[in-house]
Structure 1
């Protein structure tokens, strides 16, 4: 477990399963404690005992089992309220507080913005709290989620929305996929000096059993191949070497399809 300090809250990062991360957000100014995407309940229970905190809410980004399977036991143990997208309410277990995407709400002293980020699934949302983004399976370290339900256009729109956040925003995604994503990134963006530096940095972190997450929006814009289509120069160079149109959506689509077969 790793802990990160923000001005108004603390984030505890729990590695579970093969490569998932669960996040526990501890409000500094109230008893509110939010668990983000609990794949499992027991690691959360143990972490909360260690820190002497009690979960009051669960924030679900989307309905997949490896983000929601802990809901039942946590609700039964703590009577916490499950918060999720109203559009996905029928698929999120034990949902109690259904919110609309692209809205603002407060839990304790946490001011939370929900963003609609369709693509990986329909109904997927992300949560922004001050300088922290909890984005589930939409944006990864140097990657993005597979398109199980949404379209390429929807995912590209979602990624653009995240890229517009403050560049210092911490990216708390739900999986440790960064090294394999970086290997793919190098295959399509080999001349990117920022990318090579990130590869060196993140390999060092993993070698020393440290997470590569959180990253930042700024780092992702510089090095994530699925955000590189924001750069017209990259789009033109990519289109010339991969026989595709140079429009950002077409470049993103080509890169996403290539990643599926990497």
Structure 2
């Protein structure tokens, strides 16, 4: 095939008035053929049915090659980011003059945007292996139907579980789920849930405080002598006008 000779299936080619992939061009050319595009299968002769079957097999091979090429491109971009992360200096702030009495700001270090989890490289290596997770940890740079490979003249919807692949129709979504996407989607969802639980901050539970209220003791009854002393009134002040 052309892929063995170094052809890139991800290369953009003109498809009508827009740019698309070789798969988009194949579907566009098929729609121009009135005999195959607008004739039901039972109305075709045996030779035409055999030709249509081989054409569908070729499109399935191209879609599989497109998925592998997109995964390989994603892995290469992540490897390049890892290389830049290890080789780039810590301080890349330009030299500026500051007013006297003001201290220069701290050097800017790489943030979490350049951080790649350790399991990411091993996980992306499994993209090219059969029966392993083939989805993307990041939103893919190329948006195409994960089953048929089409990207133009179609409305793509993201997978509701893994949020990493797209589908052009419900038919492609159901076929991809039964053939290639079920196992990898469940693996991806489990990995993302474990990763989020590992790095998410758990909210603190409210502390329960026990308040013990003591009842005031009733006043002790006064003795008879204390009552007599309290009832005595000593008029020491002189309130006369003299």
Q: Report which of the two has the higher share of helix.
A: 2
Provide the TM-score with structure 2 as the length reference.
Answer: 0.28
- Bigger radius of gyration among the two: 2
Provide the TM-score with structure 1 as the length reference.
Answer: 0.27
Q: RCO greater where, 1 or 2, for CA within 8 Å and sep 6 or more?
A: 2
